[in-house]
């Protein structure tokens, strides 16, 4: 059985035999909800490439202590994947973040597309962004990732020009594109950006802005996928052509 994974703020300076104290909500969930007990083995990760396996030596109401038995580090996977996700309606946003995190996406950029049904404004924007961050955090633990993905602040279409321009490969999923995703050359390193539009589709002016910034419009196939699932399908198709999935 896979060991449970818990996120900690830092593993800097930790060595075999060190005691690491986990506190706050992370500890509360482990002890009060999952009923973590002394003697159990767990994995701790800082979300920045370092992980440690150890034994729980003490538990409290909102704290537990682990004696470290082994340490490991992992380089950031290459190529790095950014997904620009247009805001879906309802809970489909969290679904998209969950599956994108599980498949290995490094950064998720929420996008306020002109045809997005959902709108993030004021207090709702802060709460929605926090939910996306929490979803990414829990999905990273479930999928045993050493690197925690970043959920960027809400972006406008104008903001995406810089995201696309910084990419080694940028694609926009569009059902009317003439080129299939399988036709693009996938770089071995650097950053790949995948732009996923809203339920109503990407508006012509948005598509023009994205392609003008250097993105290539591509299609996945004859089927039109939901915005909450199109991204993970595209990312999987790209990762299958990299060393990350070899």
Mind listing the pLDDT tens digit for each residue in 105-127?
999 999 999 999 899 998 989 99
And the tokens for 244? Answer: 């990350």
- Selection from 228, 224, 207, 201 nearest residue 100 by Cα: 228
And the tokens for 161? Answer: 């020009």
Q: What domains does the chain contain, in order, with CATH numbers?
A: 5-73 (2.40.240.20), 80-245 (3.40.1280.10)
- Selection from 124, 91, 96 nearest residue 110 by Cα: 96
Mind listing the pLDDT tens digit for each residue in 138-163?
999 999 999 999 999 999 999 999 99
Q: How confident is the model at residue 1 (pLDDT cuts 50, 70, 90)?
A: low
Q: Which pLDDT score, from 0 to 100, does residue 29 have?
A: 87
Taking residues 195-217, report their average pLDDT. Answer: 96
> How many CA within 13 A on the CB side of residue 93?
29
| Torsion on CA atoms 237, 240, 244, 246, rounded to nearest 10 | 170
Kindly report the pTM of this predicted structure: 0.92
């Amino acid at each position: 059985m896979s060991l449970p994974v818990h996120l900690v703020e830092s593993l800097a300076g930790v060595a075999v035999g060190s005691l690491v104290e986990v506190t706050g909500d992370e500890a509360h969930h482990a002890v009060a909800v999952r009923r973590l007990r002394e003697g159990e083995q767990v994995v701790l990760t800082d979300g920045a490439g370092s992980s440690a396996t150890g034994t729980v030596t003490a538990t409290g109401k909102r704290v537990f202590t682990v004696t470290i038995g082994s340490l490991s580090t992992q380089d950031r996977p290459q190529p790095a994947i950014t997904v620009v996700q247009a805001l879906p309606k309802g809970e489909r946003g969290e679904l998209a973040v969950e599956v994108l995190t599980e498949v290995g996406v490094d950064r998720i950029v929420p996008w306020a597309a002109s045809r997005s049904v959902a709108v993030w404004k004021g207090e709702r924007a802060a709460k929605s962004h926090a939910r996306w961050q929490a979803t990414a955090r829990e999905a990273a633990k479930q999928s045993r990732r050493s690197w925690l993905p970043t959920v960027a602040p809400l972006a406008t279409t104008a903001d995406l020009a810089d995201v696309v321009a910084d990419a080694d490969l940028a694609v926009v999923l569009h059902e009317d594109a003439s080129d299939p995703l399988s036709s693009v050359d996938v770089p071995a390193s650097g950053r790949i950006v995948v732009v996923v539009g809203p339920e109503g589709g990407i508006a012509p002016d948005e598509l023009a802005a994205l392609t003008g910034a250097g993105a290539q419009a591509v299609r996945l196939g004859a089927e039109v996928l939901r915005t909450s699932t199109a991204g993970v399908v595209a990312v999987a198709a790209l990762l299958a052509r990299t060393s990350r999935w070899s």
